[in-house]
Structure 1
Amino acid sequence: MKLVALIAALALTTACAKSPAPITQQEVVQRSQELFDAVAVGNKDPWQKYFADDVLYFDEKGRAMDKTALVADVEPLPKGYSGEIKLVNSKFHLEGNTAINSYDMNETETIFGQEMHARYHETDTWMYRNSQWQIVAGQVLRYYEDPAPGAVDEKKLKDYVGTYELAAGDRATVAVEAGRLTLKRGSRPAVELIPEGCDIFFRKGVEGRRVFHFTKGKVDSMIDRRNNEDVVWKKVSDKTAS
């Protein structure tokens, strides 16, 4: 009986030793905020502490970074710059020795008195290993923001009006309605083309640009530009009838 009791005690001790130390959403958020508070001043210590040596990290610039590269990237802001990052909207899930925290980040950066803002979304995977909770994987995405609208000469809008063709049977029309340029493709509702710069327009909430190309002073095509690659719509008529 004593042997059985001893075996049971050892099994219980082993099970307890392997059980992860509990961690809460509040603790994970607090640690993550500590990381962001360290960015502007270039404090690498929290980044060394909370990231696992074998971490896989993918930032909003498309960089795949190991821990060495990630920690090295933490540098103080240049003179005349200041900023802060606030973690909001945390969504948390705990499963055994793994915790997932998915959240938004609101960044404010001041550059010689001029204030700028950006929004990001990050998802971190924390794991309990070697008697500590650390991030083993993280990925950051940047929320798309529309550019500031530019000014356009309303008299010039008529130059863009017409029917454009991508392929046989696939056409779009550009028209002027109440002083605004609109784009209508097939049976879809018309959307406004908002001016950004000379002959460059964007659609609200949509990445990419529409660029009108001129040859000898006349529009001959409309370019759908996405990620610096172009899809060309040829202008087939100055009229909007498809």
Structure 2
Amino acid sequence: MRKLIKLFGLITWIYLLTGCNNTQPTITTIDYKKAEDFIKESEKQWAESVGSGDSTVIERILADDFIGVDPEGKQYNKQQMVHDTRNAQKYFKSNHLNDVKIRFYGNAAVAQGDETWVRYSGQQLTGRFVWTDTWVLRNDKWQIVAAEDLVAPVK
């Protein structure tokens, strides 16, 4: 698992160092406070969408070229996340954001946080996701280009 996390981190940094060059905002100044508020609220809405099945937040905040890694190490894309979110309310009673920390690097941001969920049935009825999302400012829109989720013990 550590190798997977290190590999994901390396891929993310390579993307930030090379892939973001084409998405640099022109002469505009970034309002980081406004961006931080937007990212925090978006992360909260994404967490809550697991319990509601509302995929509109996913469609809005995930970039078309988004790639995520689930807790089992499988990759998924935006379309799969939209589909899974619409069906999530069958399995999850609720999911709530606990905390998120955001760091900015020019037109990119790394958000790290955790959320607590409750399932209707299964081996584990309550749990916690711990995650890292990579956000990029493109065409005046902050969107997630990469994500990695882990299941962690409830605090």
User: TM exceeds 0.5?
Assistant: yes
Structure 1: 5+ residue stretches without partners: 1-13, 146-242
AA aligned to 1:50 is: I
Cα deviation for residue 110 of structure 1 reads 3.6
AA aligned to 1:105 is: E
Other-structure match for 1:108: 118
Other-structure match for 1:127: 136
Q: Percent of aligned pairs with the same residue?
A: 25
Distance 2:36 2:118 in 1: 24
Contact 1:29 1:87 survives alignment (8 Å):
no
Equivalent position to 2:95, from 85, 88, 102: 85
Contact 2:118 2:126 survives alignment (8 Å):
yes
Deviations 1:143-188 (A, max 9, x none): 158xxxxxxxxxxxxxxxxxxxxxxxxxxxxxxxxxxxxxxxxxxx
Other-structure match for 1:55: 66
Distance 2:104 2:120 in 1: 36
Matches within 5 A, 1:66-215: 66-76=77-87, 77-78=89-90, 83-111=93-121, 116-143=125-152
AA aligned to 1:127 is: V
- Residues 49/31 of structure 1: CA separation in 2 closer, same or farther (3 Å cut): same
Greater percentage in strand: 1
AA aligned to 2:40 is: V
Distance 2:86 2:99 in 1: 26
Deviations 1:178-213 (A, max 9, x none): xxxxxxxxxxxxxxxxxxxxxxxxxxxxxxxxxxxx
Provide the secondary structure at the position in 2 that maps to 1:25. helix
Give the aligned CA root-mean-square deviation in angstroms. 2.2
- Residues 105/82 of structure 1: CA separation in 2 closer, same or farther (3 Å cut): closer
- Counting matched residue pairs gives 125
Larger Rg: 1
Distance 1:28 1:131 in 2: 14
**Larger relative contact order, structure 1 or 2 (CA cutoff 8 Å, min sep 6):** 2
Distance 2:120 2:77 in 1: 29
Other-structure match for 2:27: 15
- Residues 94/71 of structure 1: CA separation in 2 closer, same or farther (3 Å cut): same
AA aligned to 2:149 is: V
Other-structure match for 1:41: 52
Greater percentage in helix: 2
| TM-score (normalizing by structure 2) | 0.70
AA aligned to 2:98 is: V
